[in-house]
Chain A
């Protein structure tokens, strides 16, 4: 269709889920299993739920098997708390850890193809940071489906919800939340395929819209992970929590950003700079390549910053090398075949003969839409916003605090998805009326302004400028000067973004229009990430301030930051829940303000 932007249709449903990855699907399945016949609509930005970012998760799902003779939920809780650098909420950590195994069984009984041990039971493996007896020994805690655990979750969630009558709306994005009497009653949605703005009224609305990796130049995230959900919440006048908590994996493959797993370093891979000098001994004389993720990431960034990086001529990204050439063939073939395969497939290099290019890659956003342990979204003063829920990477309950452990992310999807589903059902029982009318839709002037804009700026160039700025100045290293410069640049890009004329004037599958909308989302999110990083004058977890390298007790609160208008930032704090410590039960002392030292 051509012409003026208008709302072309209004749909009513019981539950609107924005996003159909692991968290959204698990939430939908809970609702449809417990209350058959509920009208659930799930939007997905990608062309089908199976294409969601969840499907790319490889390693596994942390969950303590109650029949395990060694492992206990309290050990998992401790590891998560320690990993979070004392910023996870203990009520959430307890609820998820204790509820985890039930969700593994839920998935298995519904057909997920978990890898098995020789006795036919679920296989388990170890993962970094997961221990028994409070750090004493590695825990066999991760169940997995080979190297495609996330795909198993997506496929199972998709199948189960389809079986129970969900309606998917593919290639559709929520553009604006609708409210009536301070209660969320649905959303305006842009359906890309039809090129239509529609209004969906729902008794409950659940954000499960995923992460924001595209804020940075090198990322392991999908192309669609542009933080749309967070931007929508900001535009509705509500806060996001801990946006500055961004995890970088030290070794992403240049240029697609795919993870080159830690295994490369544990089998003896050596990081080398431009002069091919091994540099890790300078930064971690004893641990060298085996130092923790954040330390390795910082070492690589210093090498690049001080001119010892190598510019990849094709992807225009500076990097260092990982050298695996000295390792015996058996290691290449038996221990790292997958990653070796990635290097071959995506950069055409042979790990046996060639130096391979790596650079820290944005991997996970710990921050997100603030919720309680039931997935209910909170406002600036921590009151629940009726009718609005958030789960998965777009949400912060917070299970991960300022640093996430491997295998904890997809666990969060399925547990919080279920908990939020339960809460949605309770909410629906208490609130029977659906929204009838909502205020004027801001999406109409917003999308009209995109269509009508004139000027010579390019959306693609602005997006790249933004991603480079965020990587250089609000990435692995942060300083007051650098972040302040980034904030100025973000504001300039926002101005320039008003001068981007669209070449396609039709609305059907108008990718350029969606890119323009995404650019605004990336800009909003970049600004709150930078602002929160500026205000947190300490280093904690994945947030590293070169000018304030220590963790400080005065910053023990979560950041809540709102931005009702671009540039107009308001900030507050939310206390970290320490209920496990305060309950003074067995091992409570492990849940105080402990150091994150390994």
Chain B
């Protein structure tokens, strides 16, 4: 088994002060289970403390470290060196920030701007249904919850929005759609009308071209396209046939 790899990262950099963009190559020796976030850290510690990148939990639960590696949006904390070499068939990797919002510096994008699209679909219950009795939980059957529970697993890493072939032209994006679809399917949401207005607006689900790129790149393996297809057909509740 190969235990060490000679890796080249060609990182797309941006300096906001000088409004300068360039690609910088870093050569590193890295063990097989070193992750790409570890490579970025290694660059900071050994070669270039000025390289800016983003992460938080570093185990696939928060989605902060999403970048494009050879064009594919993914979480840098989940990509091991040996797996990257195997799946891309090379030891040189082009690293770019996600193209879902303006770049702040290097690999750090303005997530606030990206989140604006999620905020517009109101990712909460707009008008909550009353529980059977005050102080009680609203009952939800396991079969009803199972229909949409996978959509609740989204962490807003925006990999899907980056991969989506239409999300750059007015579409609010697959993850924003998912946040709204969850509440369309959630029996506790009574404000379905406003939700439908957003979902079927000019920025809504009909912007989707059904490429299924979202499902293909989702690090949480959510079948995003399935939920968008349900929304296109208006199949939000289990009792609708057809």
Chain A interfacial positions (CB closer than 8 Å to B):
1-2, 46-48, 50-53, 55-56, 102, 104-105, 108-111, 113-122, 146, 148, 151, 155-156, 158-160, 162-163, 170, 193, 222-224, 255-256, 258, 313-315, 342, 345-348, 458-461, 464, 502-504, 506, 508-512, 515
A111 to B138 CA separation, bound complex (whole angstroms): 10
A193 to B109 CA separation, bound complex (whole angstroms): 10
Chain B, range 32-57, C-beta contacts under 8 Å to A? 32-35, 38, 41, 44-46, 48-50, 52-57
A342 to B61 CA separation, bound complex (whole angstroms): 12
> Which of B104, B105, B123, B141 contacts A120, CB < 8 Å?
B141
A251 to chain B, nearest CB (A): 15
A597 to chain B, nearest CB (A): 34
Residue picked from A47, A109, A151, A255, most chain B C-beta under 10 Å: A47
The answer to whether B131 and A256 have CB atoms under 8 Å apart is no
Chain B interfacial positions (CB closer than 8 Å to A):
3, 15-17, 30-35, 38, 41, 44-46, 48-50, 52-64, 77-78, 80, 82-83, 104-105, 108, 110-112, 115, 119, 122-126, 128, 131, 135-142, 145, 149, 152-153, 155-156, 183, 186, 188-189
The answer to whether B124 and A46 have CB atoms under 8 Å apart is no
The answer to whether A48 and B45 have CB atoms under 8 Å apart is no
Residues of B within 8 A of A105 (CB): 131, 135-137
Known A-B contacts A148-B153, A458-B49; A222 and B56 likewise in contact (beta carbons under 8 Å): yes
The answer to whether B78 and A345 have CB atoms under 8 Å apart is yes
Main secondary structure of the interface of B (DSSP, over half): loop
Residues of B within 8 A of A315 (CB): 31, 33-34, 38
The answer to whether A509 and B105 have CB atoms under 8 Å apart is yes
Known A-B contacts A108-B138, A508-B104; A46 and B64 likewise in contact (beta carbons under 8 Å): yes
Residues of B within 8 A of A114 (CB): 137
A53 to B64 CA separation, bound complex (whole angstroms): 12
23 contacts between A and B (CB under 8 A): A47-B54, A53-B56, A56-B62, A102-B135, A108-B138, A109-B188, A111-B128, A111-B183, A114-B137, A121-B139, A146-B149, A160-B124, A314-B30, A314-B33, A315-B34, A315-B38, A346-B78, A348-B32, A348-B83, A461-B45, A503-B49, A508-B16, A509-B104
A256 to B64 CA separation, bound complex (whole angstroms): 16
Residues of B within 8 A of A464 (CB): 45
The answer to whether B83 and A51 have CB atoms under 8 Å apart is no
The answer to whether B105 and A508 have CB atoms under 8 Å apart is yes
Give B44's nearest chain A residue, CB to CB.
Answer: A460
The answer to whether B153 and A222 have CB atoms under 8 Å apart is no
A249 to chain B, nearest CB (A): 14
> Which of B53, B55, B140 contacts A116, CB < 8 Å?
B140
Residue picked from B49, B82, B115, most chain A C-beta under 10 Å: B49
A258 to B60 CA separation, bound complex (whole angstroms): 10
The answer to whether A109 and B123 have CB atoms under 8 Å apart is no
The answer to whether A222 and B62 have CB atoms under 8 Å apart is yes
Give A463's nearest chain B residue, CB to CB.
Answer: B45
The answer to whether A162 and B119 have CB atoms under 8 Å apart is yes
The answer to whether A506 and B17 have CB atoms under 8 Å apart is yes
A111 to B60 CA separation, bound complex (whole angstroms): 23
Give A123's nearest chain B residue, CB to CB.
Answer: B142
A317 to B64 CA separation, bound complex (whole angstroms): 25
A111 to B49 CA separation, bound complex (whole angstroms): 42
Other CB < 8 Å A-B pairs besides A120-B140, A223-B55, A508-B16, 4 of them?
Answer: A46-B64, A105-B136, A347-B80, A511-B52
Known A-B contacts A55-B62, A348-B33, A504-B49; A509 and B124 likewise in contact (beta carbons under 8 Å): no
